[in-house]
Structure 1
Amino acid sequence: MSPGKSNAYFNGMSSADKEEILSVSGFTEGQLPFKYLGVPIQTTRLTKYDCRCLTDKIINRIQSIGAKKLSYAGRLTLIQSVLATLHNYWAMIFIIPKGVLNRIDSLCRNYLWEGRTEYTKSPLVAWDTVYAKPDKLWVQWIGHVYLKGASWVDYRPTADSSWSWRKICHVKEELQHGFHQGNWIVNPREYKIREGYNLIRTVKPKVEWSHLVWHNWVVPKHRFIAWLVYMNALNTRHKLKRIGVSDSSLCCLCEQEEETVQHLFFDCAYSRRVMGGISEWLGLNMVRSDTLQWVLKCRHSRLRKRMLKAVVSACVYGIWKQRNECRLEYKIHKPECIVADIRREMNARCLHLIKSPVHGPDANWLRRISTVH
């Protein structure tokens, strides 16, 4: 990137951080709004004024000398292939105001009947009839190759149809079911895009531990392993032996019991020593078989609960990493080393995320855990 041609844009950052980034990158600080690839970039929804350059583009095309000399058929072709599609690029990124879309329709309609942007007479044919486009090449191709005169409502794909076409037909059948079951056909106003989206996607009930994993205090690299633990999806020795990959199902760390998710992270003697070291550091009793349920239901301040969520995921990640080193590289570190790594990482994470001053008991607690060695 060229520093002379690039700008950096900031939001919610301190002046010191801004200056450091600008110093290292060589960029200058830009101000919102600005344009990128011809599209306005800003923090608020687009207004009619923001889309003025879009309508100006259409007006300039209409006012060009060549466009004025076209016949009705030529104007219609220009509208369908150029004018009416100029806003598609914007529409893929933004929600364009309804007034702007109406203005675009108005410009195209006026150009068709008069050859200019303004037209005061009654149109010869309604715009909805003029702009109906059943003759699109893709529609013609689908009709010729797949439908072959069959009704789209009753159509079923053949076994030799492409994967993408079968998926389109599958979505059509799901939506068709929704239109009947949801009474959308009888009363179209009952239909909401959200309902159609929820109908065709897989919706599962929300689990109680979701905010333990997808929490901004949890280190990103810890989240995925923690999610696999809560889903009971990790390839522990118990699972590997069951599918014939491992000869032994004993825990790599203690070699006393079967290596299940529950045992490895919460019941194993090695894991309990890690949890014990973290408990001593935080001043909280985390050494228990129902650690997850305890974190969900414990009554602590907001700061301590946030820290607990991050620490539990960090412990899970650290134990899993140590288990893999033990199994693959035959190396095992003392639990105290794992505790020291977690403590160091969590202190850095905590200091980075706390933006406002902390007072009272939380301040004393935070000072204690950040100074313990």
Structure 2
Amino acid sequence: MIGNVNSVLMNICVYWGQIFLLPKRITQKITAICRSFLWFGTYDESRPGSVVWDHLCNHKDQGGLGFRNISLWNQAAVGKLAWAISQKQDNLWVKWVKNSITEALASTQWLTDPNYSIKNIYGGLCTQQPKVHWHRFVWNRFSVPKHRFTLWLALLDRLKTRARLFKIGVGDDPSCAICGSVVETCSHLFFECTFSTDCLQLVLNWLGYTVTKTNLTQVFMWVRRYRKKEFRRKVIFTALAGLVYQIWKARNDAVWNHHVPTKQFILKTIQFDTRHRIQNLLGKTVSRIDHDWFRAL
């Protein structure tokens, strides 16, 4: 899904976005269609998504999805035409460019630069956000794509938990759908809930580790500081991403079907997904020792 949206945005930018400044109404419509497709799988949904579009356009290491902001990229791309004109020292054209195309930019210093980079200009137009410490955890290439997406939403605290829905007047019971004893928040589901804590211990025991951390960020920080080889760290990331996905799925089963899968079923599902995914992506750079460790899981 993310790849499809990025592909559409990139094609628009590469072709039309380098020819002329796109009307604001057009860029807003394109953004609305992409947003609707990402969150609802259709092109005409007007409801807001779980995360605002501007945040999705942040780099992945800033907590976003790395989507292109069409309007800003369009300005940067058309700016290259202005730069090319200015290099010819045609005073009439340069004056027009400075008065027209460059109004949206902070300065025209880039016009005199001997080299022009659309990427650099676009980066300068974007508002820089602080980096997040968990982006490598989320976008680990071994993880199943839908697991990454759910994990990303969980770390942003944007999953539609009962507590979040209750705040906007949806539903009359904010308690956890699984344990029923505490208000259902992302922090509770991952991993303060006794059910999810037990599942976490089962997964870590399967991998041969014991951790006493009780929330998702703490568990991630522990894995990040893990001093073993990078491959094993990625396997742990993959399993934990699968665990977050399965717990959220179990929560939805509890809400809609009044059924909670067993902890052993969740463990077996994670084991299957992790093995199957990584076996298909194992490269030649993985050592024999790590190969043997993984096959023994």
Q: TM-score range by the shorter chain?
A: 0.5 to 0.7
Q: Distance in 2 between matches of 1:194 and 1:178?
A: 17
**Matched residue, 2:158:** 233
Higher RCO (CA < 8 A, seq sep 6+)? 2
Identity of aligned residues (%): 31
- Which residue does 2:227 correspond to in 1? 299
Q: Aligned runs of 1:1-373 on 2, under 5 Å?
A: 172-175=102-105, 177-179=106-108, 183-184=109-110, 187-189=112-114, 192-289=117-214, 290-356=218-284, 359=287, 361-369=289-297
How far residue 287 of structure 1 moved from its aligned partner, in angstroms, is 4.8
Judge which range, 345-354 or 271-280, deviates more. 345-354
User: CA–CA distance in 2 between the matches of 1:184 and 1:363?
Assistant: 51
Q: 1:200 to 1:273 in 2, by over 3 A?
A: same
Structure 2 counterpart of 1:355, one-letter code: G
The letter for the 2-side match of 1:331 is H
SS of residue matched to 2:124: helix
Change (3 A) 1:178 1:329: farther
In the alignment, the residues of structure 2 paired with residue 233 and residue 349 of structure 1 have an alpha-carbon distance, to the nearest angstrom, of 26
Q: CA deviation at 1:359?
A: 5.0
1:336 and 1:246 map into 2 onto residues whose CA distance is 30
Give the corresponding residue for 1:37: none
Which amino acid in structure 2 is aligned with residue 340 of structure 1? K
**8 A Cα contact 1:279 1:287, kept in partner:** no
CA–CA distance in structure 1, aligned partners of residues 222 and 235 of structure 2 = 14
SS of 2:114's equivalent in the other structure is helix
Alpha-carbon shift at residue 365 of structure 1 (Å):
2.5
String of CA shifts for 1:52-80, please: whole Å, max 9, x gaps.
xxxxxxxxxxxxxxxxxxxxxxxxxxxxx
Using structure 2 for the length normalisation, give the TM-score.
0.61
CA distance in 2, matches of 1:343, 1:287: 21
**Equivalents in 2 of 1:205, 1:190: separation in Å?**
28
* Counterpart Cα distance in 1 of 2:288 and 2:272: 24
Structure with bigger gyration radius: 1
- Residue 192 of structure 1 and its aligned partner are, at CA, apart by 4.0
In 1, distance between residues paired with 2:212 and 2:150?
Answer: 20
Quick one: distance in 2 between partners of 1:208 and 1:178? Answer: 33
Query: What do residues 251-309 of structure 1 show as CA deviations (whole Å, max 9, x unaligned)?
Result: 11111111111110111101011111111111112452211211222222122101011
1:311, CA displacement in angstroms?
Answer: 0.8
Cα 1:333–1:173, aligned 2, differ >3 Å: closer, same or farther?
same
Q: Secondary structure at the match of 2:280?
A: helix
Contact 1:250 1:259 in 2 (8 A): yes
CA contact (8 A) 1:174 1:199 kept: no
AA matched with 2:148: R
- Higher helix proportion (structure 1 or 2): 2
Task: Look up the equivalent residue of 1:214 and give its one-letter code.
Answer: W
Unaligned runs of 5+ residues in structure 1 are 1-127, 134-150, 156-167
Q: Is the Cα contact below 8 Å between 1:174 and 1:200 reproduced in 2?
A: no
In the superposition, relative to structure 1, how do residues 267 and 288 fare at CA in structure 2: closer, same or farther (>3 Å)? same
Q: Does the 8 Å contact 1:252/1:326 carry over to 2?
A: yes
Read off the aligned partner of 1:178 and give its amino acid letter.
Answer: S
Tell me how far 1:212 sits from its aligned partner: 1.1
In 1, Cα distance between equivalents of 2:107 and 2:129 = 18
**In the superposition, relative to structure 1, how do residues 363 and 244 fare at CA in structure 2: closer, same or farther (>3 Å)?**
same
Which residue of 2 is the match for residue 113 of structure 1?
A: none
Q: Which amino acid aligns with 1:199?
A: G
Q: Distance in 2 between matches of 1:312 and 1:193?
A: 38
Answer yes or no: is the 8 Å Cα contact 1:254–1:269 preserved in 2.
Answer: yes
Aligned residue identity for 1:248: D
Q: Name 2:5's counterpart in structure 1.
A: none
TM-score, length-scaled by structure 1: 0.50
C-alpha spacing 1:364/1:194, structure 2 compared with 1 (3 Å): closer
